Amino acid sequence: MAKRKRRPRQRAASVQPGIVGPPRPVPRGIVRPAYARDARGEPGPSRMAPVRSTGEIEAMRRAGAAAAEVLMIAGRHVTPGTTTDAIDAVVHAEVLDRGAYPSPLGYRTFPKSVCTSVNEVICHGIPDSRPLAAGDIVNIDVTVYLDGVHGDTSAMFCVGEVDAESERLVRGTLRALEAAIGVVAPGVPVSAIGEAIEGVARPLRLGVVREFVGHGVGPDFHGSLQIPHYYDPRNSVPLAEGMTFTIEPMLTLGGPQVDLWSDGWTAVTADRSRSAQFEHTLAVTSDGAEVLTTTSGGRCAHELSAASVPGRGSG
């Protein structure tokens, strides 16, 4: 078998902000979270307990399945020339079609229904008029509010053929999430999650962003439970059956330090190196973890992402 030729390292110019269109309307019949009914979109302090009831977890399965379905559909629209605003339009329509509310819309005045983070954008990228270009990588972060709870998931997608370093980054970030999910069980300290992520990232020479963490999720978009993606033994809170939270490691090819655009949302790497993120919402079970952000058939967009990256599994 012929050896695959290693493609030369290529770097596009830094991502520049495009034109952000107006928020898309939501029909009156769609139930909104409380912050979406506030002019400033302020959620207030979280009063949600870390552990969910059986009924809440069942609702979160439905919300998670809806989010997973929408993310898979959005990922199929990632092609050169497609704008991130066009992806927002797809996500918005698909979420409404499921009788759900797009959780980012109006959250602390965030103007769009999904986050799209391209190349060096770590997270919270606002969809705009910038078209995706061949060689880009993009994270699409979908959260839906359905039946009184949120389902939160994200995945990376490669725009056409990408360079080898971007492949390494995307592969490694997905592996880091999988490793982190693998350690979740009752009694395990929160610090074990970050330790698992660093155990993948460090050998691959990938930076781990510290400023953004996983979080409790359920009736609140962001609960008080925090899930750092780096190891700190002081994060000794033990996981308990029924806890629900996200794990969403953000890894970088260069330094993990963060800059913020003037829009107050778009977080980028300070050295403008590329960043990647994958995310699932989980529930702690009696013997491990249940991934809540999969379709009713057990699928998720991470499959699409893995299929789009040559050589996955080779490290």
C-alpha span between 146 and 143 (Å, rounded): 10
The mean pLDDT value for 9-38 works out to: 88
Count the Cβ atoms, other than its own, within 10 Å of residue 114: 29
List C-alpha distances in Å: 130 to 54, 89, 92, 243, 263: 43, 14, 18, 39, 16
pLDDT tens-digit map of 51-72: 999 999 999 999 999 999 999 9
Q: Are 64 and 153 in contact (CB under 8 A)?
A: yes
Report pLDDT for 39: 87
Note the pTM of the prediction, 2 decimals: 0.93
Residue 160 backbone zone (phi > 0: left; psi -120 to 50: alpha; other: beta) = left
Q: How confident is the model at residue 303 (pLDDT cuts 50, 70, 90)?
A: confident
Provide mean pLDDT across the span 164-183: 97
Residue 245, φ and ψ in degrees, nearest 5? -165, 170
Mean pLDDT score, 87-102: 98
pLDDT score of 82 more than 80: yes
Share of the chain above pLDDT 70, in %: 93
Residue 163 has pLDDT above 90, yes or no: yes
Least reliable range by pLDDT among 85-99, 118-132, 174-188, 296-310: 296-310
Write out pLDDT tens, residues 256-277: 999 999 999 999 999 999 999 9
- Confidence at residue 311, expressed as pLDDT on a 0 to 100 scale: 52
pLDDT reported for residue 310: 57
How high is the pLDDT of residue 304? 80
DSSP letter at 270 equals T
pLDDT of amino acid 115:
98
pLDDT band for position 315 (cuts 50, 70, 90): very low
CB atoms within 10 A of CB 310: 14
Packing angle of the helix pair 84-97, 54-75 (nearest 10 deg) = 140
The predicted model gives 40-60 an average pLDDT of 95
Q: Which of 98, 83, 75 is nearest to 26 (CA)?
A: 98
Mean pLDDT of the region 147-163: 96
pLDDT band at 282 (very low <50, low <70, confident <90, very high): very high
